[in-house]
Amino acid sequence: MGTESYTYMGRSFNEFTINDDSSSSAFSDCNSDRSGEFATTSSQSRRLLISCASENSDDFIRQLVSDLHSSSIEDQKQAAMEIRLLAKNKPENRIKIAKAGAIKPLISLVSSQDLQLQEYGVTAILNLSLCDENKELIASSGAIKPLVRALNSGTSTAKENAACALLRLSQVEENKAAIGRSGAIPLLVNLLETGGIRAKKDASTALYSLCSVKENKMRAVKAGIMKVLVELMADFESNMVDKSAYVVSVLASVPEAKVALVEEGGVPVLVEIVEVGSQRQKEIAAVILLQICEDSVAYRTMVAREGAIPPLVALTQSGTNRAKQKAEKLIELLRQPRSTRSTSEIMIA
């Protein structure tokens, strides 16, 4: 079976091999807002068509930015909606809109008490953040805290799009810690637990990105993320097994996350995935089991007692090349004498 490299947000998953029939990526793409067109009156529809079709839109963009400062909430909504559409449908407009000065007034809308206006502002910021050149400007203009507030108290669409916008901003490495310090992690964990399928995908993708930073891993563990991830991994109908497992694999580099994973019943769930999951799921489950067993005799005993060795042996025969390597190494660990304790086990004693 062939090996296919898996790349997400510029990071290569050389630990994992994707070798199943699914063409969908493990995470939400967040390429643009996926909400339906906002309701408009017939007279406004003409302006929307102009905003999407005009080839000479600079003057129109400047007028829209001016309208964002209007004292009329309806004018602000209309301007934000049209900016959102311009940025969604024409990538080249994202830089034009930012250069026209739209970002700061849009951030002000994200802080609006009017939930619809807030949603429009969040969605416009999301679409502008798809341009790499805009990410630093959006963050430096003060967007992070308002986006976190929208993640807390906005409409369901605003929460989803705020998660996506924070994901895009987190692609600038120095923004990751700032986003974590602003309180985003517990809110994303809550969205992962309580949101619909799109919200879960968006939250897991944002958490995966943000938790490459150690301090955010700790925040996620303290927010109870392992309970949520284990429950999602255990539900094969959730379409979240892969996504949750990838987040677990990022978190498992810190001892506290390993302890939480075991305490929340993660070991039997991972063993079951190795036994009955897809090729990709089996591989990532084997990787996680190896992560938790490498420095802990107690965890090796626990994994072996869950009956992991037979499905791991099967994985060495039929898995992907990477899965075979991980399974072989894990089997070797599980068969080692268990008479000594490692320093990491003191945490669970």
State the CATH class of domain 58-184: mainly alpha
Choose the weakest-confidence range: 54-63, 184-193, 317-326. Answer: 54-63
What's residue 336's pLDDT? 85
Quickly state the pLDDT bin for 89 (edges 50, 70, 90). confident
What's residue 41's pLDDT? 46
What's residue 2's pLDDT? 40
Q: Is the pLDDT of residue 340 over 70?
A: no
CA–centroid distance for 111 within its chain? 23
* Residue 36 DSSP one-character state: P
| Radius of gyration for the alpha carbons in the chain, expressed in angstroms and rounded | 23
Q: Where are the domains of the chain?
A: 58-184
Residue 196, both tokens: 């619909």
Residue 118, both tokens: 């807030």
Residue entry with tokens 């897809």? 278
Residues above pLDDT 90, as percent of the chain: 76
Residues contacting 39, CB < 8 A, separation 6+ = none
Q: What is the mean pLDDT of the chain?
A: 86
- Decide if 315 contacts 324 (C-beta within 8 A): yes
Helices marked H in 54-172 — which ranges? Answer: 58-68, 73-89, 92-99, 103-110, 115-129, 132-140, 144-153, 156-169
Helix (H) or strand (E) holding 11: strand 11-12
- Decide if 167 contacts 30 (C-beta within 8 A): yes
**Once rounded to an integer, what is the mean pLDDT over residues 196-200?**
94
- Decide if 137 contacts 98 (C-beta within 8 A): yes
